[in-house]
Amino acid sequence: MQTSRTTPSRLAKRAHYDETTIHSILDEALFCTVSFSVDGQPMAIPTAFARQENSLYIHGSVGSHFIRAIENGAPVCITVMLADGLVLAKSAFHHSVNYRSVVIFANAEKVTDETEQMNALALITDHLIPGRWDDLRPTTTSEMRKTTVLRFSLAEASAKIRAGGPNDDPEDMNLPTWSGVVPLQTVRLTPVPREDTTAVPLPDYLA
């Protein structure tokens, strides 16, 4: 949704407000940063998350200062950023980054329904490692008592995207300085098993 808070003050033409764009960026990103304020002190905590429909879920320890500070509905700003390339221009001024980002303004809602709690934990686990949840031993009642799950609405969110090459000044075009884009990519490498346990074959979802 476009609001005064989700409208960029600069290069607003790069903003997107449709759910398809916002959801696709959130579904690709592995981590988000949750920003909030406690007694006038700004805080920003990176954490794992997962999206389902128009909600975003995070989890943490019931004793976490971070979780306790926001679980009762404190306003937060959640951000995600995917870096797609370094944009090298012929001047330092025009260097840039190709990126896809999302900014969300929301208030935390503490999840109390046990089924939704478990579903959220499964979503977060499988968002990081698809297929992992079903390979794990069941979560215990004790573990659930020690865990808080928070839900955030994506109603007030926007995406911002930059793509393409450098925007060099016309008078710089003939300078003998290389310009272009250095692509960036996050890649999952070959899993490394722990050494102090019985050998277990690598599961298909990690192959």
CA dist 47 and 58 (Å) reads 7
Indicate the domain borders of the chain. 12-167
- Given a cut of 70, whether residue 11 has pLDDT beyond it is no
pLDDT at 1 (0 to 100): 67
- Given a cut of 70, whether residue 167 has pLDDT beyond it is yes
Q: How do residues 79-95 score in pLDDT, each as one tens digit?
A: 999 999 999 999 999 99
- CATH number for the 12-167 domain, one of 2.30.110.10, 3.40.47.10, 1.20.1540.10, 3.20.80.10? 2.30.110.10
Strand stretches in 89-196, DSSP E: 96-107, 109-110, 147-153, 157-162, 180-183
pTM: 0.91
Mean pLDDT for the stretch of residues 4-31 = 86
Supply 31's token pair.
Answer: 């981590």
Average pLDDT, the chain: 94
Query: Within its chain, how far is the Cα of 88 from the centroid?
Result: 26
Q: Give one DSSP letter per residue of 25-92, joined into a string.
A: HHHH-SEEEEEEEETTEEEEEEEE-EEETTEEEEEEETT-HHHHHHTTT-EEEEEEEEEEEEEE-SSG
Q: How do residues 114-160 score in pLDDT, each as one tens digit?
A: 999 999 999 999 999 999 999 999 999 999 999 999 999 999 999 99
* Exposure string for 49-81, b = 16+ CB within 10 A, e = fewer: bbbeeebbbbbbeeebebbebbbeeeebebebb
pLDDT tier at 4, thresholds 50, 70, 90? confident
